[in-house]
Structure formats: structure tokens, C-alpha cells
Amino acid sequence: MSGGATPKVTGNYYSDEGGVPFLRVQNIAEMGIKLDDVKFIKPGIHETMLKRSQLKKDDLVFTILGKPGTVSVVPDNFEVDISQNSVRFHLKK
């Protein structure tokens, strides 16, 4: 289990378009991950500052604030980071 992380709003962390999707509580739903109204993180921040909040295929992502307990399964070929309001469970085979 690992918690997400959120870069400060001030700073050069976010991208208007492109980059790596940054999932917030409103993007995590019982029917899957929704990418409408998604924010983007610059790739360099994804690979450094947010390395521990990266999701992998079949991870379970749970919201802990906002809509506590909502869970989604991460699909294949889906590179994203999660905010500090979510946690991920990585299941080992």
C-alpha cells in the first residue's frame, strides 16, 4: 500500500495539456477511472517527485477523502499518478 502525493499549486509541476494524467478524487469512480477534468503532471515530476504515487496495471486505487472508499482497478498501459487523497494497493502475484 502506498499513498499518493500532490505537488504544490505554485511551482512549475503541472502542464495544461499532455504530460502524465494526475488523478484526483473526482477521477476515481466505481465504474472505473474517468479522465474528464483531469490535470496533467510534467513527465520529469512524474519520474522523480511522484515516483511513489505511480499506478501500475491491476493496482487498486482507493479514495480516502472526498468520497472515501471509492475504488477502481487500474487498466493495462495506463500511466498515471494519484493525489494525496488516494492510496494504491499493489497486489503481488
Q: Please check whether residue 36 is in contact with residue 76, taking contact to mean a CB–CB distance below 8 angstroms.
A: no
Q: Give the pLDDT confidence score for residue 10 in this predicted structure.
A: 66
Each residue of 38-68: pLDDT tens digit?
989 998 888 888 888 899 889 999 999 988 9
Say yes or no to pLDDT of 77 above 90. Answer: no
Say yes or no to pLDDT of 4 above 90. Answer: no
Q: Give the pLDDT confidence score for residue 23 in this predicted structure.
A: 92
Q: Please check whether residue 23 is in contact with residue 33, taking contact to mean a CB–CB distance below 8 angstroms.
A: yes
Nearest to 34 by CA among 89, 60, 72: 72
Average pLDDT over residues 7-29: 84
